[in-house]
Amino acid sequence: MMDGLRADTLKAAVAEKNRLDMDVQVHKVIDSTNSWCLQQCKTGRSLPFACFAEEQTSGRGRRGKHWVSAAGANLAMSVVWPFSLSGRRLHLLPLSIALAIAQTLERFGMEQVQVKWPNDVYVQGKKIAGILIETLPVREGSIGNRNKKGVSVATVTGVGLNYDMSACRDSALDGVVLTDICEQLAGQMPLPERQDIASSLLTDVVLTCQNFQQDAMQNLEVFRTHYDYCSGKNVVITLDDRETLSGIAQGVNDDAELLVLIGGELQAFNSAEVSVGAACGAGPS
């Protein structure tokens, strides 16, 4: 097992870069960082806060999928942040968080980083990170010293980021080929430490939450022009009732819904599972 993450170092990074005194917990073993955070919110814990897990035994992905994180191999993080529903832009949060992860990876030298709608991060066509965002109502009195009127929801943003999957790197998750930081930066010596990646990831996600209300639409445009993994590719859409449709992805609309050309008709999807095939023509540069 690699050296463990240090909560004091993570907290200090947020204090320095985000100018925020935020509680950060590191658990040796936990079932799910999101589940732990949701339970803490229900007990009235002051917001915001974050937690990491060295080992996650029952991590959850979208649509009930499991995300197991072996001890010391990857990064499992959840950040809890208060938002006002009056902003009406929380549907844009997954793509904004994905961009934060992408920018963290680029800062450490990774190339060909893209975001697969709605919440996966890919490097050179392989999945390196996933996001699960859950919400629940909160009382205004739980918002620490923010004293912010109208705050009515807490978002729990869970991030699973592959750091070293050398024991199972050639495996696939639901048919998706996986990669990790150590593989992508194999030619870079020394490799960045997990602690450094964790600190950067945490501060980037917190910064995105801090600036989300004013930056949400700009983030959406950045995704469209630079990071959209699906655009121009053949995709298979699996709906909630397991019906499947196929077509060509055409980007996203202003509500962050996936646009797919199916049988000559442009259709929008706000919740679906997407598998991606070969590119069809030239996508956006």
pLDDT at position 147 is 41
The CATH number for 233-279, chosen from 2.30.30.100, 1.10.630.10, 1.20.140.10, 2.40.50.140, is: 2.30.30.100
**Of 171 and 123, more confident:** 123
Q: Choose the weakest-confidence range: 82-91, 195-204, 268-277.
A: 82-91
Q: Taking the domains of the chain in order of start, what are their residue ranges?
A: 7-227, 233-279
**Model's pTM, two decimal places?**
0.89
Query: CA-to-CA distance for 158 and 51, rounded, in angstroms?
Result: 9
Judge contact between 244 and 237, C-beta under 8 A. yes
CA atoms within 13 A on the CB side of 57: 6
Does residue 150 register a pLDDT over 50?
Answer: yes
pLDDT at position 54 is 94
Architecture of domain 7-227: 2-Layer Sandwich (3.30)
Query: CA-to-CA distance for 112 and 135, rounded, in angstroms?
Result: 31
Query: CA-to-CA distance for 206 and 208, rounded, in angstroms?
Result: 5
Mean pLDDT on 144-152: 53
Query: CA-to-CA distance for 164 and 169, rounded, in angstroms?
Result: 8
Does residue 237 register a pLDDT over 70?
Answer: yes
CA atoms within 13 A on the CB side of 199: 20
Q: Is the dihedral of CA 113, 67, 33, 199 positive or negative?
A: negative
Phi and psi (nearest 5°) for 76?
-120, 115
> Which tens digit of pLDDT belongs to each residue from 60-81?
655 445 555 566 678 999 999 9
Using alpha carbons only, give the angle 259, 261, 267 rounded to the nearest 5 degrees. Answer: 50
pLDDT at position 168 is 64
**Of 281 and 50, more confident:** 50
> Which tens digit of pLDDT belongs to each residue from 78-133?
999 999 866 568 999 999 999 999 999 999 999 999 999 999 999 999 999 999 99
pLDDT at position 57 is 86
Judge contact between 70 and 95, C-beta under 8 A. no
From residue 10, how far is each of 14, 26, 143, 201, 225 by CA, in Å?
Answer: 7, 9, 21, 10, 32
pLDDT at position 73 is 78
